[in-house]
């Protein structure tokens, strides 16, 4: 389905349901590249139910995986997979039930190529209900 048709279908559903529709985030695929310093959303857990979710992501410049909890921590690893002089990292953002950002935290950076860093973020606020995980390189 092309972008216009998809947008029209989502907009129509929102009007018919009387609610707000949210388009799913475009997922980056293995082998894609992002500009240096750009963040790619790798996971988004949009639920008001407390819990933990596994996530994993690969880009041409690096990879990462872990488990994010809301409320709680994000634990995992990040690996630099390209000899480009840039370091790879993840960023965790926690939100309340109304999507107000409560906190953000950046993991240690992995570099040079083949370096792996393990991480655990500080605990989120107790009322965090949504978590987003990003990966980037700079």
**Which pLDDT does position 19 carry in this prediction?**
32
- Low-confidence residues of the chain: pLDDT under 50: 1-34
Structure tokens at 110: 């992995």
Q: Is the pTM of this model over 0.75?
A: no
Omega within 30 of 0 (cis) for the link into 71 = yes
Could you tell me if residue 110 is inside a domain? Answer: yes
Could you tell me if residue 63 is inside a domain? Answer: yes
Could you tell me if residue 2 is inside a domain? Answer: no
**Which pLDDT does position 106 carry in this prediction?**
97
Kindly tell me the burial class for residue 37, based on how many C-beta atoms sit within 10 Å of its own C-beta (0-12, 13-18, 19 or more): exposed
Per-residue model confidence as pLDDT tens digits over 18-51: 332 222 332 333 333 445 568 999 999 876 667 8
Could you tell me if residue 54 is inside a domain? Answer: yes
Could you tell me if residue 94 is inside a domain? Answer: yes
Q: Give CA separation, 74 vs 25, 103, 107, 132, in Å.
A: 20, 12, 10, 10
Contacts of 103 (CB under 8 A, 6+ apart): 93, 94, 122, 124, 125, 128
Q: Domain range for residue 99?
A: 27-137
């Amino acid at each position: 389905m092309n972008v216009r048709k998809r947008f029209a279908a989502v907009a129509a559903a929102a009007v018919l349901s009387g609610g707000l529709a949210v388009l799913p985030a475009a997922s980056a695929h293995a082998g894609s590249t992002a500009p240096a310093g750009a963040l790619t959303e790798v996971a988004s857990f949009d639920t008001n139910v407390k819990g933990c979710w596994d996530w994993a992501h690969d880009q041409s410049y690096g990879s990462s995986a872990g488990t994010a909890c809301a409320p709680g921590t994000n634990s995992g690893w990040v690996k630099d997979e390209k000899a480009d002089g840039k370091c790879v990292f993840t960023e965790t953002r926690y939100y309340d039930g109304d999507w107000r950002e409560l906190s953000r935290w950046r993991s240690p950076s992995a570099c040079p190529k083949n370096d792996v860093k393990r991480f655990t973020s500080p605990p989120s606020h107790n009322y965090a209900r949504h978590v987003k995980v990003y990966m980037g390189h700079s």
